[in-house]
Amino acid sequence: MNESSAPRFSWWRLLRLCSFQIGSAMGDILVTSIWNRIMIVNFGLPALPVGLLLSVRYLLSPLGLYAGFRSDNTIFWGYRRTSYIWLGRALMVLSLPLLALSVARFDAARNEPLGWLLASASFLLYGTGTLLSGSPFLALVRDTMPQAHQGLAASVVETALIILFAVVGISFSLALQDYSLAGFWELTLATMLIGGFFWIFAIVGIEKRTRAAIQIAATTTRVQAKQFHATLTKILADPRTRAFFVFLSVATAAAWMQEVILEPFGGQVLNATLAQTTRYSSYWQSATALVLILAAMVWRKRRGELQVPIAQIGLSIMGLGMVLLTVVSLLAQGALVVVPLLVFGVGFGLYTFGGFQLLIVMTSDAEAGAYLGLWTVTILLSRGIGISLGSALRDGLVALTGSTSFGYALVFGISALGLFLSPALLQRVNVLSFARDTGRLSTADAHVITAEL
């Protein structure tokens, strides 16, 4: 990409960037669908410490905001984005053997302190790596596309991740039918090798090495800190940005309360096997991927500023899915579980299609890394809070009610309430005025879009 001219749209480049998500999907399925199920169901450990470990990368999410800011302003090993991405992914690869070693310790002795220490170190490395690379990767996707296609590119990359979640989930469920330490090690090594390869392949050569003549001026750490603080203060001073922050926080926390407890719910309430519960995520993510593809076909020319109603409808359907899952938990009928998961997935697809384009709209060109870093931090932090809250509520409500099925049902019901509240919060965000003020829309275009809405 020539830094002196606007980038051209390229499907080949976009597909290469999508292959980055192969490793992301493999790592997340291993950690959030398999490891947590083994810990809670096979080893009989409480959900809260498991959820807190899974939340580490999300609770450390301010690091992602700073990484995005740094990639806007500081050349690192000759690149703006690429070096941050590869450094972060290298840490993620290094974290995976530690996770497998922790499982080995728990396999030998339940609740063993060394096992928790190894798991904590693994999640600290994994989380740090995710945060260092996440917002620079989104910024790289944005940098490599012309403005008219930036929202589409973000949606396609996210769609690829969700499709790969479904594919990897099914593949891993076939590879590991039931828990065995050897099987977990095999999946860990496969993730390191295959995922690591695609993390390199996807972005090598995408960003041209910056020449000395056009390098961003080096600044001291103190000056950078002041610039970072000033940029963040400017962003948060805008009431539209704050309203979007509140919306993202509530919607994300509500959507991901089920993350840690979904597979254990299948094992403890529905008596499902490890292979069956590993596919739960694949069910709703397959529906999400299908809806994202259809949405891209139908609304590919629809401006990002017009995506608010689509996101709102998606959130309402997600809430309905959680209501149905509440009913399944109360009835303890495993044969019915696929229906609410598919409904949730359909809603998630609509919300993701609209929401990711709104992320691009609620971003200015001059501070793209900082804005995307803020939205990444908001999503990750809220996801971590949702995961922790869901795990804590599961433990507390099961103990309080004395009923596993009723405890899980209450958690799913609380998730539904948050999802039903989110469309009203999105309505409070004045997306059109933000787009006009940042130069994405002319005043005339804003009037036309207002009339269409």
**Average pLDDT, stretch 201-212?**
73
Confidence of residue 212 (pLDDT cuts 50, 70, 90): very low
pLDDT of residue 153: 80
Specify the higher pLDDT residue, 397 or 211: 397
CB 263 within 8 A of CB 36: yes
440 or 84: which carries more pLDDT confidence? 84
Position 323 scores a pLDDT of: 96
Q: Is residue 397 part of a domain?
A: yes
Position with higher pLDDT, 380 vs 400: 400
| pLDDT higher than threshold 60 for residue 1 | no
Amino acid (one-letter) located at 404: T
User: Around 160, how many Cα atoms within 13 Å sit in the side-chain half-sphere?
Assistant: 17
Predicted confidence band of residue 221 (pLDDT cuts 50, 70, 90) = low
CATH classification at residue 260: 1.20.1250.20
pLDDT digits (tens, 9 = 90+) for 45-95: 888 888 888 888 777 877 776 777 677 666 767 667 888 888 989 999 999
Residue with the bigger pLDDT between 142 and 210: it is 142
Nearest to 199 by CA among 285, 259, 286, 140: 140
Looking at residue 338, its pLDDT comes to: 93
Question: pTM of the full predicted structure?
Answer: 0.72
Q: What is the pLDDT of residues 292-350, one digit of tens each?
A: 888 878 887 777 677 889 999 999 999 999 999 999 999 988 889 999 999 999 999 99
pLDDT tens, position by position, 114-129:
999 999 999 999 988 9
Element (H, E) at 231: helix 221-237
Tell me if 129 is assigned to some domain. Answer: yes
- What pLDDT does 216 receive? 45
Which pLDDT band holds residue 185 (cuts at 50, 70, 90)?
A: very high
pLDDT of residue 447: 43
**Nearest to 9, CA basis, from 135, 157, 200, 143:** 143
Least confidently predicted of 125-139, 268-282, 368-382: 368-382
Residue 76, beta-bridge partner list: 79
Q: Are 104 and 34 in contact (CB under 8 A)?
A: no
Report how many domains make up the chain: 1
Looking up tokens 């008219």, which residue turns up? 148
The whole-number pLDDT of residue 449 equals 47
pLDDT exceeds cutoff 50 at 251: yes
* Alpha carbons 359 and 445: distance in angstroms, whole number: 19
Q: Look at residue 325 in the predicted model and tell me its pLDDT.
A: 96
Tell me the residue range of the domain where 263 lies: 11-206+219-452
Asked if the structure places residue 4 within a domain, the reply is no
The Cα 51–Cα 58 span in angstroms is: 11
User: Phi and psi for 428 in degrees, rounded to 5?
Assistant: -80, -10
pLDDT tens-digit profile of 257-296? 998 888 889 988 998 888 888 888 888 888 988 898 888 7
Nearest partner of 29 among 249, 355, 274, 232, judged by Cα: 274
Q: Which of 190-194, 374-378, 417-421 has the lowest mean pLDDT?
A: 374-378
Model confidence at 417, pLDDT cuts 50, 70, 90, reads very high
3-state helix, strand, coil in the chain (%, to 5): 80, 0, 20
Is there a domain that residue 346 lies in?
A: yes
Q: What is the mean pLDDT of the chain?
A: 83
Query: What is the structure's pLDDT at 375?
Result: 82
In the predicted model, is pLDDT for residue 193 greater than 90?
Answer: yes
Least-confidence region, from 224-228, 367-371, 380-384, 394-398:
224-228
Residue 439 scores a pLDDT above 70: no
Mean pLDDT of 402-429: 94
In a domain, 2, yes or no: no
Name which residue leads in pLDDT, 242 or 439.
Answer: 242
99 belongs to a structural domain: yes
- Domain assignment present for 3: no
Tokens of 105: 């310790």
The predicted pLDDT at position 161 comes to 85
DSSP state of 35: I
Are residues 10 and 195 in contact, defined by beta-carbon separation less than 8 angstroms? no
Would residue 214 count as lying in a domain? no
* Percentage of the chain modeled with pLDDT above 90: 32
